[in-house]
Amino acid sequence: MSADAPGRSALITGGAGFIGSHLAELLLGQGIEVFVLDDLSTGSERNVAHLRERRDFHLVVDSVLKSSVVNELVHRCDVVYHLAAAVGVRLIVEQPVHTLVTNIQGTENVLEHCNRFEALSEESRRVYGPTTARRWAYAESKALDEFLAFAYHQERGLDCVIVRLFNTVGPRQSGQYGMVIPRFVSAALAGRQLEIHGDGTQTRCFCHVEDTIRALSTLMEASGVDGDLFNVGSTERVTIDELAQRVLAATGSSSEIVRIPYDEVYGQGIEDMLHRQPSIDKVNAAIGWSPSRSLDEILVDVIAHIRRAPVFDESVA
């Protein structure tokens, strides 16, 4: 069945979040009826407020941990995009139990019900670190999610695709839990200091949310990708120091840049990856995908979004 076939429906867990809300817009534009399941713990009803009056959009405010709710929604939908997760370094460090339960039990719950009705596309990312460091709770929980998805595919024939997302950014992303671009932009526009956590030499690659959701949608419809795993992200690498300078230039801000040790930010020892850059050769070979939006374009879009917000604050980014 093609993506724009009449009567098709999709469930997006975490669909009121940053990525999920953009994906909902894309699918609705393809003529797909969208059901969103979100407990609004890190997502926001504001992200989907403009969709609420549509007859083909449905928001269910509940948890992926509630089996009966997941069962009903999966039963009603043809495909599932599982994006619900505890995310953000600050949230992960401060609430490791919540992180592990949400990411592992929530994914197991979705997989179990998808197996009954044969539908899933699952989002996750893998990084490495010792179990004694809370920073890695998210990474390890998502790794277990991958093992679960592979097991359901191999043992029970579940049609699923795993996608590892690398630093997706864009309008609607919140800086509340440590996301660096909205945090920098909000501070620059408000004339506050831009706080670099660590020494600023760490590098990251930032992918526009429009590129990310295009990859998710295309992978869902592609043939020959069942039970496989793909990296989705940009390969345009930038140091956090350089990122801060580019934000100042793009906003015309004279804000000061300060560097704060991780221990002072999170109140305990924390490790971070010095460099993070995905290889996207596999996803490019499978579906011809590569990012089309540059970091400069990302900054333009994020700055425009935050300028429209009623206050310059990370929580509304």
| H runs (alpha helix) in the chain | 18-29, 67-76, 89-94, 96-100, 106-117, 137-156, 180-190, 209-221, 240-251, 262-266, 281-287, 295-308
Distance CA 35, CA 95 (A): 28
Distance CA 159, CA 181 (A): 35
Q: Kindly state the DSSP code that residue 48 receives in the 8-state scheme.
A: G
How would you class 6 by CB atoms within 10 Å of its CB: exposed for 0-12, middle for 13-18, buried for 19 or more? exposed
Please, what sign has the CA dihedral across residues 104, 109, 113, 119?
negative
DSSP string covering 149-192: HHHHHHHH-----EEEEE-EE-TT--STT--HHHHHHHHHHHT-
Distance CA 206, CA 302 (A): 12
Give the residue from 205, 210, 203 showing the smallest Cα distance to 170: 210
Q: State yes or no: is 152 an active-site residue.
A: no
Give the residue from 89, 88, 104, 96 showing the smallest Cα distance to 146: 104
Kindly name the residue from 81, 138, 177, 262 that is annotated as catalytic: 138
Helix or strand (DSSP H, E) at 228 = none
User: What residues are annotated to the active site?
Assistant: 138
